[in-house]
């Protein structure tokens, strides 16, 4: 099996990376930056997002796993103290895989030309640096509302605990193939009216955002931001691709949600086990 380790770059993550690389190589696994079967991300959730985008072109061949060196992560859910256990598990391959849905974003330009397609693990947001965004929002080809406000966020189920949560969106279990649309400060008065509630769309239901005023947009895909002018439409739906996580022990999504947002005792209990 071929593996690659991506580090956040701080001293602690780099040292875990070096140790794991050495042990796994000694176990006979090959370090391969280009075509890894397994990518180990050492750092935080942001590190895993970066690792994902680096190998986004080979999702059906690369699985991911995350060790967190900061606070508890959603994608980085192995502790540095569990490193030896994880090394042995990885060396014993094959591993089980858990798949999470992704968001597909297609940006089309008014000037024609090739469309841009992105996959997001967490979400895509659409904002502008000048004033507010104004969009016609279509769902499955039917006009739903005209949105005016700071922006919109379209998130995946696993991204629902990230930006989406801060916007008042619901937390969706990643076994549900869906995307969630949340508003950022919509203007609601007698002229503009939006639903206000987060919307959850199932697979095959396409969301289309059509800018009304000509503005330059800031479109984020997970941790990176792109600027677009002359946008004709932004299309969002559940992607056909999925992100695959290598799974060596159960750590249910709801436990991660509880440990991150509600109670510390879950984390403490896990630490005591070691």
Catalytic residues: 45
Q: What is the DSSP string of 147-187?
A: EEEEEEEEE-SGGGGTHHHHTTPPP--TTS-EEEEEEEEE-
Nearer to ligand NAP, 37 or 169 (CB): 169
Per CB under 6 A, 145 contacts ligand NAP: no
150 is in an annotated binding site: yes
Residue 94 has what DSSP assignment? -
Which one of Mn ion, ligand NAP, none is in contact with 223 (Cβ closer than 5 to 8 A by kind)? ligand NAP
Residue 107, helix vs strand vs coil: strand
Of 122, 132, 180, 186, which lies in the binding site for ligand NAP, with binding defined by CB under 6 A?
122
CB-based closest residue to ligand NAP: 46
Site track 204-233 with ligand NAP (rule: CB under 6 A), x = hit: ------------------xx----------
Determine which residue in the list 70, 79, 146, 187 makes contact with ligand NAP, applying CB under 6 A.
70
Stretch that binds ligand NAP, among 24-32, 45-53, 82-90, 95-103 (CB under 6 A): 45-53
CA-based angle 65:220:161, to the nearest 5?
50
> Site map for ligand NAP, 147-166, x if CB under 6 A?
-----------xx-xxx--x
β-strand 142-155 against 178-186: which pairing, if any? Answer: antiparallel
CA-to-CA distance for 67 and 251, rounded, in angstroms? 13
Least distance from ligand NAP to the Cβ atom of residue 182, Å: 11
Task: For residue 189, give Cα distances in angstroms to 147, 148, 169, 192, 217.
Answer: 12, 10, 22, 5, 24
Binding positions are 45-46, 122-123, 148, 150, 185
């Amino acid at each position: 099996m071929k593996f690659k380790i991506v580090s956040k770059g701080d001293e602690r993550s780099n040292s875990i990376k070096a140790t794991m690389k050495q042990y796994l190589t000694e176990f006979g696994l090959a370090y391969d930056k280009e075509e890894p079967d397994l990518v180990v991300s050492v750092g935080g959730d942001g590190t895993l997002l970066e690792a994902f985008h680096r190998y986004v072109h080979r999702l059906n061949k690369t699985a991911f796993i995350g060790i967190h060196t900061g606070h508890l992560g959603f994608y980085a859910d192995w502790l540095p103290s569990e490193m030896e256990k994880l090394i042995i598990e990885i060396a014993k391959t094959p591993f089980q895989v858990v798949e999470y849905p992704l968001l597909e974003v297609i940006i089309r330009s008014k000037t024609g030309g090739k469309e841009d397609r992105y996959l997001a693990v967490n979400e895509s947001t659409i904002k502008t640096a000048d004033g507010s965004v104004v969009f016609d929002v279509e769902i499955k080809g039917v006009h739903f509302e005209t949105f005016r406000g700071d922006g919109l966020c379209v998130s995946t189920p696993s991204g629902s605990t990230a930006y989406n949560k801060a916007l008042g969106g619901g937390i969706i279990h990643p076994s549900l193939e869906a995307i969630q649309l949340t508003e950022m400060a919509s203007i609601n008065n007698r002229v503009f009216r939006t639903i206000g509630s987060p919307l959850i769309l199932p697979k095959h239901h396409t969301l289309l955002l059509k800018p009304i005023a000509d503005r330059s947009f800031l479109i984020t895909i997970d941790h990176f931001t792109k600027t677009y002018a002359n946008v004709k439409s932004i299309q969002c739906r559940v992607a056909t691709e999925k992100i695959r996580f290598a799974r060596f022990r159960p750590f249910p999504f709801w436990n991660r949600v509880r440990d991150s947002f509600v109670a510390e005792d879950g984390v403490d209990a896990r630490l005591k086990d070691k």
